[in-house]
Amino acid sequence: MTGHYSDGGFVPLNITVLTISDTRTEETDKSGKIFKERAEEGGHRVVEKAIVKDDIYQMRAIFSRWIADPNVHVILSTGGTGITGRDSTPEAVGPLLEKPIEGFGELFRSVSLEEIGASSIQTRALAGLTNHTLIFCMPGSTGACRTGWDKILQQQLDHRTRPCNFAQMFLA
């Protein structure tokens, strides 16, 4: 891998944010706001933000639209990854993924263990790649969004992170 890396500075990615909730509004969507703020503070462009009910088909419609958009590099979603009630994000997103990234859910639960203990087992956080678009689905709590961004995504969406990162796939 030596010789291929040249640090020309930070490369911003185009990110969308989707909050999955039957109750949140723009005014009460703290988790979606955290993702938007963290991504923008990190130098990325949030090109769209939306809220959708926890309904498999409504979720798939938005995910599919963003997956089909060649200008969207990353989709961050918050909510619907638990095991109760209408939580159905993994069921909605899983069939859309060409290449699941199992390590994301494993790592997310591992770093969450430090913060919330054994309760981290209840998340079904997932990630994957499809149509040259990265998708990361995390729980709906603000703490989970901070953890996911601060401890995993901030570094992995920066092409300068070594030895490897997800952002490299968007470089020319």
Domains of the chain as residue ranges with CATH: 14-170 (3.40.980.10)
Tell me 132's DSSP state: T
Is there a contact between 86 and 25 (Cβ–Cβ < 8 Å)?
Answer: no
Residue pLDDT, tens place only, 25-77: 999 999 999 999 999 999 999 999 999 999 999 999 999 999 999 999 999 99
Q: Note the pLDDT tens digit of each residue in 124-147.
A: 999 999 999 999 999 999 999 999
Q: pLDDT-derived band of residue 1, with 50, 70 and 90 as boundaries?
A: very low
Tell me: the pLDDT tens digits for 78-125?
999 999 888 999 999 999 999 999 999 999 999 999 999 999 999 999
Q: Which of 85, 98, 108, 103 is nearest to 134 (CA)?
A: 98
CA 60 vs CA 56, 57, 68, 95: distances in Å: 6, 5, 12, 9
Amino acid identity at 101? I
